Structure 1
Amino acid sequence: MSSSHLFVIALSIATLGVAAPALAAEEPAHTLVLRDGAIEIRDYAPQITASVEVDGSMARAGNSGFRPLANYIFGGNTARNGAGSDEIAMTTPVTQTRSQEIAMTSPVTQSMQGGDVWRVAFIMPEEWGMDTLPIPDDPRVQISEIPARRMAVIRFSGGASDSRFETKFDELVAYLDAEGHAQIGDPVYARYDPPWIPTPFRRNEVMVEIAPS
């Protein structure tokens, strides 16, 4: 990894205190189904993610998970043709999910020692496929395919502490219950902005999969 890439990662961690994209560019393809104030329902196309599982608090896990994923996309990988490595464009958002069970290897969970385990994930750009993405050098990095799904999303600006994410998740669940939408997935916490964006203007979201209506 180049010194400039290391600087970006260090700045992201030091300034934000959590995982955040160094360069915000492509967002996952989706169709807006409904907008009601800060809440949206979106239909997402299939996605491929690179993810790692790390334990600890939300902020600590975000920091720990960001570096191996950044290393992967910045060239810590082996190209499918075996010739060197590939660089992958940074996308947005960086996501974090808490799981309810203990995982076997690398992405999200409730931990053995009472701490939480989180899956921190980068969404791969659309031009890459499961058969073309380079192979991670770090065995903790897992490449996974996520099928198309309908997501309910609540957007908020400012700081993105675990307590704020939990409060917004509660607001989203109350809205879904009132509107008769069935939640079928765990909350996904998403951060969109690089660390040099002033805190009041940062975009954050809580996302949860719901049943198609």
Structure 2
Amino acid sequence: MDTFLYYALTLVESVLGVFGIRALYEQPRYAVVERLDRGVEVRAYDARLAVETNAQGQGDGEAFGRLFRYIAGANRDGSRIAMTAPVEVGRRRIAMTVPVERGAVDTMRFYLPRTVAAEGAPEPTEAGVRLVHIPAERMAALRFSGGATPEARTEQGRILGEVLATSCKATGPVVFLGYDPPFAIPILRRNEVAVRLPPD
């Protein structure tokens, strides 16, 4: 895809995103396996591939820029890769090697299109950007619209935790899944908070 067409398509996707139209964005495949109270869904996701970088939370424009540059050609092949939804922002546990201890880091992820994953995604060329293979997994998710402020995410995460306290055990921290650009009309936005669950 040539540069002009790539950026024109990206612009069209962004404009449509203002109105909550995300039909052009590929999304990870999942099946809803259980519906819990207050709109919480337990989902079984297929394995997928993401590109990831460290972030300073949801509104980290530098992290978003690094990931966008990767899909716009800052990769070993110079390939332009279609944007997908959602963008995942959350905390990931890491193992430190010296000394041996566990820590956590905030990350931002773009999921890559299935065709790109199947063909072999090109390696990033920018420091701090990495490919991450995510195995098939179960997640519990709660969808909400409106602004995705830190307060809104915290409140929705609290609701998700209350629902899961009686039925499931989460295996990690709450992550935010954003399906729309930040300038989308709030009532039309699709936001989610989610937690990973242990395998069946």
TM-score interval (norm. to shorter)? 0.7 to 0.9
Structure 1: which 5+ runs fail to align?
17-21, 80-84, 111-116
Say if 1:205 and 1:173 are closer, same or farther in 2 by CA, change over 3 A: same
Matched, 1:183 2:174: no
Question: Which of residues 38, 62, 65 is equivalent to 2:63?
Answer: 65
Following superposition, the deviation at residue 54 of structure 1 comes to 2.6
| 1:188–1:207 contact (8 Å) kept in structure 2 | yes
Say if 1:138 and 1:169 are closer, same or farther in 2 by CA, change over 3 A: same
CA deviation profile, 1:174-213 (whole Å, cap 9, x unmatched)? 101122x111122111100134531121010011011244
- Percent pairwise identity: 30
Question: Which of residues 145, 154, 160 is equivalent to 1:172?
Answer: 160
Name 1:151's counterpart in structure 2: 139
Question: Which of residues 149, 153, 161 is equivalent to 2:149?
Answer: 161
> What does residue range 18-33 of structure 1 map to in structure 2 within 5 Å?
25-33=25-33
Following superposition, the deviation at residue 77 of structure 1 comes to 1.4
Secondary structure in structure 2 of the residue aligned to 1:48: strand
Secondary structure in structure 1 of the residue aligned to 2:90: strand
Question: Which of residues 90, 96, 104 is equivalent to 1:97?
Answer: 90
* CA–CA distance in structure 1, aligned partners of residues 65 and 25 of structure 2: 19
Say if 1:23 and 1:96 are closer, same or farther in 2 by CA, change over 3 A: farther
The number of residues matched between the two structures is 183
TM normalised by structure 2 equals 0.79
Alignment-mate amino acid for residue 171 of structure 2: I
| 2:48–2:117 contact (8 Å) kept in structure 1 | no
Structure 2: which 5+ runs fail to align?
98-102
Name 2:100's counterpart in structure 1: none
* CA–CA distance in structure 1, aligned partners of residues 93 and 137 of structure 2: 20
| 1:23–1:90 contact (8 Å) kept in structure 2 | no
Moved over 4 A (4+): 1-6, 100-104
Name 2:112's counterpart in structure 1: 124
Name 1:204's counterpart in structure 2: 191
* CA–CA distance in structure 2, aligned partners of residues 40 and 197 of structure 1: 24
Following superposition, the deviation at residue 128 of structure 1 comes to 2.1
Secondary structure in structure 1 of the residue aligned to 2:66: helix
Alignment-mate amino acid for residue 41 of structure 1: V
Alignment-mate amino acid for residue 71 of structure 1: R
RMSD: 2.9
Following superposition, the deviation at residue 173 of structure 1 comes to 1.1
* CA–CA distance in structure 2, aligned partners of residues 65 and 74 of structure 1: 14
